[in-house]
Amino acid sequence: MNTQQQHILDRFIKYAKVNTRSDESSLTIPSTPSQKEFTLKLKDEIEALGFEDCFYNPKDAYLTATIPSNIPDEDIPTVGFIAHVDTADYNAENIQPQVIENYDGGDIVLNEKEGMVLSPKDFPRLKHVVGHTVVTTDGRTLLGADDKAGITSIVTFGEYLINHPEIPHGKIRVAFGPDEEIGTRGAKYFDLDQFGADFAYTIDGGRYGTLTYENFYAKQANVTISGRSVHPGAAKDSMINALLWGARLATSLPADQVPEKTSGREGFYFLIRQEGTIDHLNQFYYLRDHDKEKMQEKLAYFEEQVARLNQEIGEERITYRIVDQYDNMYEVLKDYPWVVDLARDAYSKNNVEAFEAPMRGGTDGAILSHKGLPTPNLFSGAENTHGPYEFVTIETIEQSIAVLIDIAKNVRHYSA
């Protein structure tokens, strides 16, 4: 491992060890105090590195900063680079990253006591990182490479440009925001006027080579089922078991349209959580599709099932509320092909094979694009995210940094 890679590793581990798990049940911005604490420390760090205009906005919990143009005589669009500070809803307390240098392609023991192994038999992507420095969990927590790897890339990229003024570039804005993992909530509050970029990229794309400009349309259905609890010995024709009616609703949806049976452009219904008793049940469903018309069909089918079950009950006992989460960024980005071409060219110059496939999820860029800031998603290197088998390699983060440098250098050659 060379000096630069060690520098990247040290920075990533420093970030990863901090618990910044977000909380969907919280109504604050950010949703957890740890995110604010992390972001304020990050502000001190990037100020010391020479980033300018470092500003933490308490209204949206975003940290923004500037790397000024060093070719001020040219009229160059301002590019932004964005990462999120929160981690997913999985144990993030006392994260202890493990470092495997010069990975040999075999099994990696995460936790011997628990018998947890990261194996290429189960995770074949490991075959692509033989020889890399791999960072994993110890089997008890997630790693948080989603999106601490993205933060590491942006900070190290900015540090490099500041220390190498001979590299020509226009004005660059960077941002680090909260609560991406809870329905991209943070991006909905991001003050784009204050940010001041003309276009941007999120560094949150996971596997090496990812270049995303298309994602799901996403809605959430919050269902309430009001039952009637009666002593089971006298329940005939009077008990309404909310638990069973919830099961009826879940099984009324197409069995082949669930996450574990779909891929590519196939959408799904996903019962993500339920809680309740005989007399009251709450269910929460994700509805997903890449096609707007198919999403409307899914929504209509869901509504039909609720209406049918209420008719069977004989009264309206099942109610629901549909929450819009995010839309497909391609609706916006199809009008800004040069933004994607700029990234694609940077990949090519760094011998990174672009993996361009519709994202089976969402990202802050989906929200930001529809707010008026065209924002595709670039790879961070995080793999197997949101759980104990998460890993990232230092070489992948290093490649991400190289891509960002090339984008910054070449913005002046790309514009509408």
Q: Which residues are catalytic?
A: 86, 180
Give the full edge-to-edge strand order of the sheet including 318-326.
268-277, 280-289, 217-226, 318-326
Residues 6+ apart with CB under 8 A from 311: none
Q: What is the DSSP letter of 354?
A: P
21 forms bridges with which residues in the sheet? 87
State the Cα–Cα distance between residues 135 and 392, nearest whole angstrom.
Answer: 5
Q: What is the largest CA-CA distance in the chain?
A: 85
DSSP assignment of 290-341, as one string?
A: SSHHHHHHHHHHHHHHHHHHHHHHTS--EEEEEEEEE--THHHHTT-HHHHH
Half-sphere exposure of 306 toward its Cβ, with a 13 Å CA cutoff? 21
Reported as half-sphere exposure (CB side, CA atoms, 13 A), residue 98 has a value of 20
CA–CA distance, 68 with 70 (Å, rounded to integer): 6
The DSSP letter of residue 342 is: H
Nearest to 396 by CA among 90, 108, 37, 149: 149
Which parts are annotated binding residues?
Answer: 84, 146, 181, 204, 386
For 244, half-sphere exposure in the C-beta direction (CA atoms, 13 angstrom radius) is: 8
Q: Are strands 199-203 and 377-378 parallel, antiparallel or unpaired?
A: parallel
Instruction: Count how many Cα atoms sit within 13 Å of the Cα of residue 403 in the half-sphere of its side chain.
Output: 35
- Residue positions forming the annotated binding site for Zn(2+): 84, 146, 181, 204, 386
Query: CA-to-CA distance for 333 and 329, rounded, in angstroms?
Result: 6
Distance of CA 320 to the CA centre of its chain: 26
Name the DSSP class of 228. Answer: B
Cα–Cα distance between 141 and 384 in angstroms, integer?
Answer: 12
Question: Cβ–Cβ contacts within 10 Å for residue 125, how many?
Answer: 13
Strand partners, 67: 172
- The CA–CA distances, whole Å, from 280 to 33, 242, 246, 268, 392 equal 32, 6, 10, 26, 43
